[in-house]
Copies of this chain bind each other. A is one copy, B any other.
Amino acid sequence: MNLTHLDEKNRPKMVDVSQKNITQRIAKASGMITMNKEAFKAIKENSAKKGPVLQTAIIAAIMGAKKTSELIPMCHPLMISKVETDIEEFSDACTFKLIVCVKCEGKTGVEMEALTGVSIGLLTIYDMVKAIDKEMTIHQIILENKEGGKSGKFVRS
C-alpha cells in the first residue's frame, strides 16, 4: 500500500487530481471536548441567554474549514459551497460534540475541511474556558461519513 502523498523519491507531493471528475463532495466530521462541571456550566448558563462561546466556536469552525489548504501542507485549495455545524451537549459527561458538514463540487474530497473545522472549533471552546479548567480534553475527532468521488460513499462503522 503506497502513501499517495509521497513521490518515488519518498518526498511529499500534492497529489495530481487533474484527471479526476468534478463531482459533488460531502463530508461530515465530529469531535468532542470534555471539561469539568464548572466550565460546562459557565458555557451552558451563558448559552441559555446568548451562547457566545458556542457561537464563537461555530464561526471559528467555519472560518477554519476555509483555511484548510493553508494549514495542511498537501491539501488542494477547494471552493467550498457549504459549511454547516451542529453542537450536541452531554450534560452528564460535561461534554460538547461539535459536528461540521462541508460540501463542494470538485475533484477531491472535503474530509480534511470538515475535520479542520471541527478541530479549530473545539480549540476555540478550549480557549474561551481555559481560565476555569486547565485539564480539558479534546477527543474523538473522526470522519462520520463522506460522499462523492471514485471511492463513493463511506459511513463510519
Contact = CB atoms under 8 A, between A and B. Distances in A.
A136 B142 contact: yes
Contacts of A54: 11
Interface string A34-57: 000010001100100111111110
A46 B11 CA distance: 10
A72 to B, nearest CB: 5
Given A42-B3, A137-B140, A81 B55 contact: no
Interface in A58-73: 58-60, 62-64, 66-67, 69-73
Instruction: State the copy count for this chain.
Output: 6
A22 to B, nearest CB: 9
A67 to B, nearest CB: 7
Given A12-B58, A55-B12, A130 B111 contact: yes
A81 to B, nearest CB: 4
B119 A134 contact: no
Contacts of A129: 3
Contact of A79 (B77, B154, B156): B77
A120 B52 CA distance: 19
Interface of A: 1-7, 9-18, 24, 31, 38, 42-43, 46, 49-56, 58-60, 62-64, 66-67, 69-86, 103-107, 111-112, 115-116, 119-120, 123-124, 126-132, 134-143, 146, 154, 156-157
8 contacts: A12-B59, A13-B82, A18-B24, A62-B74, A72-B127, A81-B107, A112-B130, A119-B123
